[in-house]
């Protein structure tokens, strides 16, 4: 029972975090579209994808959203984090080689804002109850 509640909390946190990150990406795209046009919005989209795709890989690799028991071994966490890091490096390389962003400021600000959402989402959603 206790593990089930903990699993539900993790799922809720991941869903809140992903929703926050998508709102950040959409807001950034609208602001860039207004400020610079389509090329700015594409730069924001690329920054968002470079931040979100490795996170999705990490979540899938750890099995946070899967039902049932999941292995809680440190090796799985290490492999998931190493894969996330490798995918991030590969995506940065692919973006700057194949499709360089027209506005790197929009690209990097979106990437950083989405990464910082990891720190801000738990602070915004803390329950104020005393157990």
- pLDDT for res 131: 40
Element holding 34 (H helix, E strand): helix 2-36
- pLDDT for res 89: 95
pTM for the whole thing?
0.79
- pLDDT for res 87: 94
- pLDDT for res 128: 45
- pLDDT for res 125: 60
Q: What is the pLDDT along the chain (131 residues), one digit of tens a residue?
A: 666 777 777 788 888 888 889 999 999 999 999 998 898 899 999 999 999 999 989 888 887 776 655 555 667 788 888 999 999 999 999 999 988 888 888 999 999 999 998 877 666 665 544 44
- pLDDT for res 79: 86
- pLDDT for res 18: 87
Rounded Cα gap, residues 85 and 91, in angstroms: 10
Rounded Cα gap, residues 58 and 87, in angstroms: 10
Give CA separation, 83 vs 28, 62, 87, 127, in Å: 27, 11, 6, 32
């Amino acid at each position: 029972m206790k593990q089930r509640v903990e699993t539900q909390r993790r799922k809720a946190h991941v869903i809140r975090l992903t929703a926050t990150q998508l709102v950040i990406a959409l807001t950034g795209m609208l602001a860039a579209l207004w400020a610079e046009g389509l090329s700015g919005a594409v730069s924001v989209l690329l920054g968002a994808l470079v931040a979100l795709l490795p996170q999705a890989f990490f979540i899938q690799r750890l099995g946070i959203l899967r039902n049932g028991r999941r292995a809680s071994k440190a090796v799985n966490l290490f492999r998931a984090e190493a894969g996330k890091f490798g995918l991030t490096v590969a995506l940065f390389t692919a973006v700057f080689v194949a499709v360089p962003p027209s506005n790197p400021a929009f690209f990097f600000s979106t990437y950083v804002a989405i990464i910082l959402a990891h720190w801000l989402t738990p602070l915004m959603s803390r329950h104020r109850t005393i157990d």
